[in-house]
Amino acid sequence: MRKEIRITGFGGQGIVLAGYILGKAASVYDQKSATLVQSYGPEARGSACAAQVVIATDKIHYPYVRHQEILAAMSQEGYDSHSGKLEPGGTLLYDRDLVEIIERPPSAALLAGVPATRTAEKLGRRMAANIVMLGFLVGCTRIVKKDAMREAVRTSVPPGTEEFNLTALERGFTYAREAMREHKQTQAKESG
């Protein structure tokens, strides 16, 4: 198994941290291999930012995303730049608060949105939108075990914010359950 994931947004959203936590969940807590490659604009905040994460059950010989199977877009620019690179049958997840999708990409077998930013704001810290998105990503794709993700979040966030971030993660899991239920219902209607 080898899965290639791109998380994209803008500087200040914790995109690279999200990639790091996802890779840590896979490699430290889920007995898989993982790599992280990051890219960002020259400005500290507001510029384009992306994290490429490769997760595999075997050794990873090439750390870059060549066959983007999962895209998590947390900005319009990130969506616009990377949605066309989604592999056929891929998964496209996006922050409904920051990304507008006019036309469904034909390669997306699963297209699902989550109000990550709004949810984080309601919880009290907009900065946790990346953690909500991680819960949504893991809940929709099952790329790593949920317990592995919980432990990676708990051990990666600043001391004193563990419970808050775990709550944000659980909200993402909840949204993923709803999205997958809707996806299955849509598939059943289309096939029957």
The whole model's pTM is what? 0.93
In the chain, which residues have pLDDT < 70? Answer: 41-46, 192
Chain-wide mean pLDDT for the chain? 92
- Alpha helices (H) along 36-161: 76-82, 116-123, 129-141, 146-154
What is the phi-psi region of residue 161: left when phi exceeds 0, alpha when psi lies from -120 to 50, beta otherwise? alpha
pLDDT score of 111: 95
pLDDT score of 42: 55
Say which DSSP state 127 is in: G
- Do 135 and 176 touch, CB atoms closer than 8 A? yes
Beta partners for 111?
92
* pLDDT tens per residue, range 157-170: 999 999 999 999 99
Q: How far apart are CA 81 and CA 93, in angstroms?
A: 14
Residue ranges making up the domain that contains 17:
2-191
Number of structural domains the chain divides into: 1
pLDDT score of 186: 82
Residue 153 exposed, middle or buried by CB count within 10 Å (0-12, 13-18, 19+): buried
Q: How far apart are CA 24 and CA 134, in angstroms?
A: 12
65: Cβ–Cβ under 8 A, 6 or more apart, which residues? 4, 5, 6, 37, 52, 53, 54
Phi and psi at 38, nearest 5°, equal: -115, 150
Going through 41-78 in order, the beta strands assigned E by DSSP cover 48-56, 70-73
pLDDT score of 119: 97
Q: How far apart are CA 51 and CA 105, in angstroms?
A: 21
- CATH number reported for the structural domain that contains residue 143 in this entry: 3.40.920.10
* pLDDT tens per residue, range 22-45: 999 999 999 999 999 988 765 555
CA 175 to each of CA 4, 102, 168, 172: distance values in angstroms, whole numbers, following the listed order: 22, 22, 11, 5
